[in-house]
Structures are given as structure tokens and as C-alpha cells.
Amino acid sequence: MTTVLEPVELRTRGFDVLAKSLGWVNAVRFIQQYEPSRLNYVEERKSILPDLTAAELIGQMKALSASETGVSAPPNRRRRTK
């Protein structure tokens, strides 16, 4: 006989199985096929994220880290490619 789970437990256990089988990203993509978002991700992203270049964002992160730890970050060093 099958036990009928409460909706929250069913969703939690079901997603766990999907994530273990497909990986977290593909499990979310699978769910989104059946539950399309009513939100506009692009517009929401624009309102949440700062208007910074990657270099500016990294610079701010390094400055914040240095101010919290008292240790400045080492300069960027590019890896040599063969």
C-alpha cells in the first residue's frame, strides 16, 4: 500500500530524487517546464544587481575583504597557458 504524503513532504522528497538523478540545475529546469514563472527574470535582475563591470565588482569585493580582515588581497596574476 502506498502512503499518501502531505504536499510539502511530497514536493521535498520528489525534488530530492530529481536533484540526485539530474543534478540541481537540471532538476530546476525540469520543474520550470511545468511551473513557468510569472516573473520577468531579466527585469528583476536589472533592479537587483548593481550596474558594475566585472572588474569594478571584483575591486569592491577585494576592498571589502581587506577592510574586514585587515589584509589586502594579492594583485591579479594571470595564469600562463600552454
Q: Read off the pLDDT of residues 6-23 as tens digits, 9 standing for 90 and up.
A: 999 998 999 999 999 999
The C-alpha atoms of residue 73 and residue 71 are separated, in whole angstroms, by: 6
Q: What are the extents of the domains in the chain?
A: 7-67
* pLDDT given for residue 33 in this prediction: 83
Q: Is the pLDDT of residue 60 over 60?
A: yes
pLDDT of residue 81: 60
* Residue-wise DSSP of 38-81: SS-HHHHHHHHS-S--HHHHHHHHHHHHHHHHS-PPPPP-PPP-
Average pLDDT over residues 29-37: 79
Question: Cα–Cα distance between 27 and 80 in angstroms, integer?
Answer: 37
More confident residue, 78 or 32: 32
pLDDT of residue 14: 93
Strand, helix or coil for residue 6:
coil
Looking at residue 4, what is its pLDDT?
93
Q: Is the dihedral of CA 39, 37, 30, 15 positive or negative?
A: positive
